[in-house]
Structure 1
Amino acid sequence: MSRIAILGEYDPTFEPHIATDRAIAHSSAQLGCEVEAEWISTPDCDRSKLATYAGIWVAPGSPYRAMEKLLDVIRYARENQIPCLGTCGGFQHMILEYARNVLGFQEAQSQENDPYASHLFISKLDCSLAGREMQLTFTKGSQIATIYGSLTAVERYYCNFGVNPDYVPQLKSQSLQITGSDSEGEVRVIELPGHPFFIGTLFVPQARSTVELPHPIVTAFLKTVL
């Protein structure tokens, strides 16, 4: 049996969290395997606890209670080739970790956490995406396009924050790739070439997973974990 850690403050009334557990069950059944998923609150995030986990999912639900610990675990996964999926708030914090530890913006922040920070890589969206479904376009040849088997998709959002357009050139300056965008060209998917699985989505793919149609991103993540 493989084990994955789901990082975030679990709320049994928050639909994206309920959907996360369901999506793992759907994809596990499709793959014909058993995956044990354990929710870990961010104050309990610690590199030393990750040795028994084959993958990490950074769940929606920001702001997190212990952001610095969460960012350290994301860095650990990135640097040690551990499969890592980030959705919604998880996507945002994968951006922040990369900005701090690869691009050198040590004070990179989200406007949700610190509205007066000097480098707001994550800013409030002009129009909230919470509860909306939107069309996406993927980069040809990208890992995300391969996962979907398509260059387009429709996905659901639960967020009010996203990538600050002012910092997109910096994000593109190193190895991280922006491989998914909406109809207005806004960043919606990131991935790291050369890593087994390091993908972040601003949307919440688990929200569209069903027993009959497990979500391809979740299935691809679990397949990599296995």
Structure 2
Amino acid sequence: MSPSHPTLSPRLALVGDRSPGVRAHARIPALLTALAERDQLVLDAFWIATPDAEQPGALTGFDAVWLVPGSPYASEAGAVAAVRTARERGIPFLGTCGGFQHAVLEYARSVCALGEAIHAENRPGAEDALIVPLACSLVGREGAVEVERGSLAERILGAERTVERYHCSYGTNPAYLDVLREHGLRFSGWDGTGDVRIAELPGHPFFLATLFQPELAGDGTRPHPVVRALAFAAAEHARRGTG
């Protein structure tokens, strides 16, 4: 659903199936409050369930899209549609955890002509899935991420190495990385064994996806640099009136 009245504040679509049992969902309102108090970045946030995101025009009028954690989503098609809308319309986009996985899935299907690309969480046992179970689950874990110099991720994080929190069990199948790169997707963060942790899209105003969950950083009173960067990108999008 879209905002029903005009506002001067940038509009943020939180795409995901909101649940009190998902820690990230509980954290996000506090992060938005902290952005307003610490950075004077006031965002009007609207939760959009993934089945609603399937509908044409569901993201009309928004200045940023955050595909939040919580997979399996009620609608894979809705999650993928949200990514595609943000990517094609130049709307600032952030995907975290499941949002990262579905951002890669959308790119493979829409840009790389891999229409049958599969997320193994939704198709258990499928051969050659694009999104596959991690060798070691990252549920409730922290891990170091090496960040590519000169990338959007490095500019946001201000470092070439960071330690982040995870709550996921799926990641990218390495067999598909070359074709994704060849079609323009940039992988700009890895763990110590070389597994992808960050993806971004050069040429887009702001398109970033992280397997880690920046919304879980700290105690929730100081927004992670990734979350702040999305907010600033939304404000710029609103200023330019490019929605």
Pairing of 1:69-80 with structure 2 (within 5 A): 69-80=78-89
Instruction: Look up the match of 1:3.
Output: 11
Instruction: Look up the match of 1:23.
Output: 31
Of stretches 192-201 and 65-74 in structure 1, the one that deviates more from structure 2 is 65-74
CA offset digits 1:99-148 (Å, max 9, x no partner): 00001110111110012445411000111000000011100000000001
User: 1:177, 1:25 → 2: CA distance?
Assistant: 32
Instruction: Look up the match of 2:167.
Output: 158
Instruction: Look up the match of 2:198.
Output: 189
User: 1:113, 1:98 → 2: CA distance?
Assistant: 17
User: 1:115, 1:211 → 2: CA distance?
Assistant: 34
- Whether contact under 8 Å (2:30, 2:221) holds in the other structure is no
User: 1:125, 1:102 → 2: CA distance?
Assistant: 25
TM-score calculated relative to the size of structure 2: 0.89
2:109 counterpart (82, 89, 100):
100
Q: Which amino acid aligns with 2:208?
A: I
**Alignment partner of 1:120: what SS?**
coil
- Whether contact under 8 Å (2:27, 2:220) holds in the other structure is no
Q: Cα–Cα, structure 1 residues 27 and 119, in superposed 2: closer, same or farther, change >3 Å? A: farther
CA apart distance, 1:175 = 1.0
* Moved beyond 4 Å, runs of 4+: 209-212
User: 1:201, 1:81 → 2: CA distance?
Assistant: 19
2:46 counterpart (38, 51, 57):
38
User: 1:87, 1:212 → 2: CA distance?
Assistant: 19
Instruction: Look up the match of 2:59.
Output: 50
CA apart distance, 1:43 = 0.8
CA apart distance, 1:25 = 2.3
**Alignment partner of 2:182: what SS?**
coil
CA apart distance, 1:28 = 3.1
Instruction: Look up the match of 1:199.
Output: 208
CA offset digits 1:170-194 (Å, max 9, x no partner): 2221211000001111000000011
Instruction: Look up the match of 2:184.
Output: 175
Q: Which amino acid aligns with 2:23?
A: E
| Structure 2 unaligned regions, length at least 5 | 1-8, 236-243
TM-score calculated relative to the size of structure 1: 0.95
CA apart distance, 1:71 = 0.9
The percent of aligned pairs where both chains have the same amino acid is 40
CA apart distance, 1:49 = 2.5
Q: Is 1:114 aligned to 2:114, yes or no? A: no
Instruction: Look up the match of 2:6.
Output: none
Q: Which amino acid aligns with 2:227?
A: V
Instruction: Look up the match of 1:138.
Output: 147
- Whether contact under 8 Å (2:41, 2:231) holds in the other structure is no
CA apart distance, 1:225 = 0.1
Q: Which amino acid aligns with 2:146?
A: T
Q: Which has the higher strand share?
A: 1
**Alignment partner of 2:11: what SS?**
strand
